[in-house]
Amino acid sequence: MKDLLNKYQEDLVQILKDTVINHGQIIREIALEIAGALKAGGKLLLCGNGGSAADCQHLAAEFVNRFRMERRPLPAVALTTDTSVLTSIANDYSFAQVFEKQVAALGKTGDVLIGISTSGTSENVVRALEAAGRKGLVAVGFTGMEARDMSGICDYLVKVRSKDTPRIQEVHIFLGHVICDMAERIIFENELS
Residue 115 included in any domain: yes
Distance CA 185, CA 191 (A): 10
Residue 24 included in any domain: yes
Q: Using one digit for the tens of pLDDT, what is the confidence trace for 65-111?
A: 999 999 999 999 999 999 999 999 999 999 999 999 999 999 999 99
In the three-class reduction of DSSP (H, G, I as helix; E, B as strand; rest coil), residue 13 is classed as helix
At residue 51, the pLDDT reads: 97
Mean residue pLDDT of the chain comes to: 95
Q: Using one digit for the tens of pLDDT, what is the confidence trace for 48-58?
A: 999 999 999 99
- Answer whether residue 192 shows pLDDT above 70: no
Residue 30 included in any domain: yes
At residue 27, the pLDDT reads: 97
Q: Which domain holds residue 163?
A: 2-188
Residue 193 included in any domain: no
Residue 151 included in any domain: yes
Please state the domain count of the chain: 1
Q: Using one digit for the tens of pLDDT, what is the confidence trace for 151-161?
A: 899 999 999 99
Residue burial 26-49, b: 16+ Cβ < 10 Å; e: rest: bbeebbebbbbbbeeebbbbbbbb
Residue 113 included in any domain: yes
Q: How far is CA 35 from CA 32, 41, 180, in A?
A: 5, 10, 9
How much of the chain, in percent, has pLDDT values that exceed 70?
Answer: 97
- Answer whether residue 193 shows pLDDT above 90: no
Amino acid code (one letter) for 75: P
Residue 52 included in any domain: yes
CATH (domain of 150): 3.40.50.10490
- Answer whether residue 190 shows pLDDT above 80: no
Residue 153 included in any domain: yes
